[in-house]
A and B are shown apart, each in its own frame.
Chain A
Amino acid sequence: MAREVFAGPNFSGRSAALLARLRGLGRPAFFVGPYAEAALSGLSTSVADELALYRAPQSTRPAFAALATEPLLRRVPQSLSGGEQVLLALRCFSQAASTAIGVDTALEQLDGDNRAAALAYLSGGGFDAMLIDNRAEPEGWTVTACAESPAFAIDWDALAATVRIPPAQAIAIEALDFAYRHGKTIFANAGAVLTPGAAYRLFGANGAGKTTLLKLLAGALRPSRGRLLLDGATCLPWRDGNRAFALATQNPDHQWCGATLREDIARRRRALGGAAAAALDDGHVEALARALGIASPDQHLYELPLAARKRLSWLWPLAGAMPWIVFDEPTVGQDRATRGRLAGLLARLCAAGAGVLFVTHDDAFAAALPHRVLRIENRTISLL
């Protein structure tokens, strides 16, 4: 059985090569793309149905059991965390009739244990496996090198010169309680204090509540109890609007407020007004976009490759409209060089007084960015 890893930097045609290889097999294969849209079938409205859809009576492969599906059977698959969706997809494949699987950067969303389990499973026997992963080239796999392309190159010096971040406030989270409706409790009496001039890594297992905390800070979710203080003043972002946390989402396509960058920024500018709007003037935004490798802010966002959209999603936190830079898995799908340079840029911004809050399962990226760890575990937040 074949084991093939497609290696190369972003925009080298790895994804196209992997899909072509899968289609060329001449038999149904299984595909796990970078995000839910291409990881799950989209046909089922419960985890139980997603499993039933792929279950083949004749399959004799052992089930991939890293995800405990029993408590999740009634959940809508798309409502699972990014990592849980990938684990669910692998579980579905493990009981499917398909004898080939292609995984395009999806494992980058998994925590250490789950990632090791997934790689071990894919390296096992009984099926063909093809992989794109920016963090690993597993031993014993055939490597297909893809050629570098100059497209969408980031000008890091220009980016560093263009970014300007306003002074960040100190954050205090006090006695936070939050539970999803008909779901599990995520936080119970959780608290933390974050000071600007430092980077904080939200760390925890898949599904622990890292993205949930970011949504609470940005006001997209409302806690059932607790307080959020900015420089000692009570802040109610779910009621008064988000003015402090510029969030780049895990899936860049969950971030856009318009069809083009110009439209997206114009809407934010109109709504925010004041100093935030001034930070989003056209000249500044166009310079940032150029530095991030996007020639025109009028380019339709969905015509850009996913990796380029991911990079462009960084523009919002780096524009300086809000003081805290917040990244949810910023390096998913990004090659090694880009991840290292981004870590360096964020480290320089922290040294200049900015506040950075990020979620990542990329230990190499985190190691290159001096930070403190906020561990989310057992419904609490611990500052390590």
Chain B
Amino acid sequence: MTPNGAAAFALVAVLAAILGDAVGLAAAGLIVAAFAAIETGARSWAALRRAVLVMLPLAAFMLVIWAGIVGRSPSEIAAGVPGSRTAALAYVAGVAARLFVVVLLVQVVTLRFAEGTPFGLIRRLYLPLGAKRVVVVTLSLIETLRQSIDRAHTALIAGGIVTRTLSLRNAANGWLLIQTVWLTAITTVTARLRDKWPVESTLALLDPALDGAERRLAVRDMVWIGLALAALVIAAAR
């Protein structure tokens, strides 16, 4: 399978998961499950675990807001009818299920290419170089934030302000982590922009490193894209 085929498959499958009703969503979910089992293999369990970890708090939050506080679904509010918590619950379940499928899909598709490096994957994508640069800089910013979180966390623990494990002190002082993370991230980016990048023209090095897109789809790509299109047709027809 090629990265371009995987990207096209993911795009179509996301549309199917978002646009359809329960049957369309089930079709999209089945195809994502099949992709995970056949293409990504055992690594899919990690993707599944992460998708649950991401979606559970979000679903709980939506449940509290819609079923607990509002007590009606958005369509009932729009229609001006009294509504019910059951309808609100069904609404939350639908949204959470769609997001779960999308989060899982993005991860299994990414993990399908886990053997390679991010640059290797991006290089093979059939995209303009400018778009590839944007993807690389976005990944770089995400990594900078991750490193900043780690460093700020260490600083606050070493300073005795928070602890590594759950504690009352964390509840009282945890908000400092957010500010410290931003301070660390800004310093990191500033140091790069001020000293390293102007001397090296580092961004210009990206073009040769990312040049060399694949232009053809594999047969395997066609099969998966075809299946995703079928799910999209089912979703659109209902």
Partner-B contacts on A (CB < 8 A): 19, 22-23, 28-31, 33, 35, 37-46, 48-49, 52-55, 73-74, 76, 78-79, 98, 102, 215, 218-222, 237-243, 245, 247, 249, 253-259, 267-268, 270-272, 276, 302, 316, 321-322
Known contacts A29-B200, A218-B158, A268-B161; 5 additional CB pairs below 8 A are A31-B195, A31-B199, A43-B137, A43-B203, A249-B154
* Partner among A215, A222, A243, A272 whose Cβ is within 8 Å of the Cβ of B165: A222
A-B contacts, 10 of them at CB < 8 A, read: A28-B199, A31-B200, A38-B191, A41-B192, A41-B200, A42-B192, A45-B139, A220-B153, A268-B159, A302-B190
* Partner among B164, B186, B206 whose Cβ is within 8 Å of the Cβ of A221: B164
Bitwise, B160-192 to A at CB < 8 A (1) or not (0) is 111111010100110010011001101111111
With A30-B200, A46-B118, A267-B173 given, is the CB distance from A76 to B143 under 8 Å? yes
Min CB distance B153 to A, Å, is: 7
* Partner among A19, A43, A219, A276 whose Cβ is within 8 Å of the Cβ of B164: A219
Bitwise, B25-44 to A at CB < 8 A (1) or not (0) is 00000000000000000000
Interface size on B, residues (CB 8 A): 53
Measured between alpha carbons, how far is A102 from B173 in the docked complex, in Å?
41
Contact: A257 with B192, CB < 8 Å?
Answer: no
- Which residues of the partner chain B approach A249 to less than 8 Å between Cβ atoms? 154-155, 158
Bitwise, B108-138 to A at CB < 8 A (1) or not (0) is 0000000001111000000000000000110
Measured between alpha carbons, how far is A44 from B133 in the docked complex, in Å?
11
- Which residues of the partner chain A approach B136 to less than 8 Å between Cβ atoms? 43
Measured between alpha carbons, how far is A237 from B143 in the docked complex, in Å?
28
Measured between alpha carbons, how far is A178 from B201 in the docked complex, in Å?
40
Q: In this complex, which of A42, A219, A242 has the most chain B Cβ atoms within 10 angstroms of its Cβ?
A: A42
Contact: B140 with A44, CB < 8 Å?
Answer: yes
Contact: B209 with A53, CB < 8 Å?
Answer: yes
* Partner among A78, A272, A321 whose Cβ is within 8 Å of the Cβ of B147: A78
Measured between alpha carbons, how far is A33 from B193 in the docked complex, in Å?
12
Contact: A220 with B195, CB < 8 Å?
Answer: no
- Residue pairs across A and B with CB atoms within 8 Å: the count is 177
B95 within 8 A of A: no
* Partner among B117, B154, B187, B201 whose Cβ is within 8 Å of the Cβ of A46: B117
Measured between alpha carbons, how far is A267 from B117 in the docked complex, in Å?
41
- Which residues of the partner chain A approach B203 to less than 8 Å between Cβ atoms? 43
Measured between alpha carbons, how far is A31 from B198 in the docked complex, in Å?
10
Min CB distance B175 to A, Å, is: 11
Contact: B196 with A220, CB < 8 Å?
Answer: no
Contact: B201 with A245, CB < 8 Å?
Answer: no
- Which residues of the partner chain A approach B85 to less than 8 Å between Cβ atoms? none
* Partner among A52, A102, A268 whose Cβ is within 8 Å of the Cβ of B119: A52
With A38-B191, A53-B206, A78-B143 given, is the CB distance from A23 to B198 under 8 Å? yes
Measured between alpha carbons, how far is A40 from B202 in the docked complex, in Å?
10
Measured between alpha carbons, how far is A348 from B15 in the docked complex, in Å?
70
* Partner among B158, B188, B195 whose Cβ is within 8 Å of the Cβ of A245: B158
Residue of B nearest to A73 (CB): B117
Q: In this complex, which of B176, B203, B204, B205 has the most chain A Cβ atoms within 10 angstroms of its Cβ?
A: B205
Min CB distance A301 to B, Å, is: 8
Residue of B nearest to A56 (CB): B208
Contact: B155 with A255, CB < 8 Å?
Answer: yes
With A45-B139, A254-B155, A256-B180 given, is the CB distance from A241 to B163 under 8 Å? yes
Contact: A220 with B164, CB < 8 Å?
Answer: yes
- Which residues of the partner chain B approach A222 to less than 8 Å between Cβ atoms? 164-165
Contact: B205 with A54, CB < 8 Å?
Answer: yes
Min CB distance A365 to B, Å, is: 22
Contact: B160 with A243, CB < 8 Å?
Answer: yes
With A45-B139, A54-B205 given, is the CB distance from A322 to B160 under 8 Å? yes
Contact: B119 with A42, CB < 8 Å?
Answer: no
Measured between alpha carbons, how far is A272 from B173 in the docked complex, in Å?
11
Closest 7 CB pairs of A and B: A37-B191, A238-B164, A271-B161, A49-B119, A218-B158, A220-B154, A31-B199
- Which residues of the partner chain B approach A48 to less than 8 Å between Cβ atoms? 117, 119
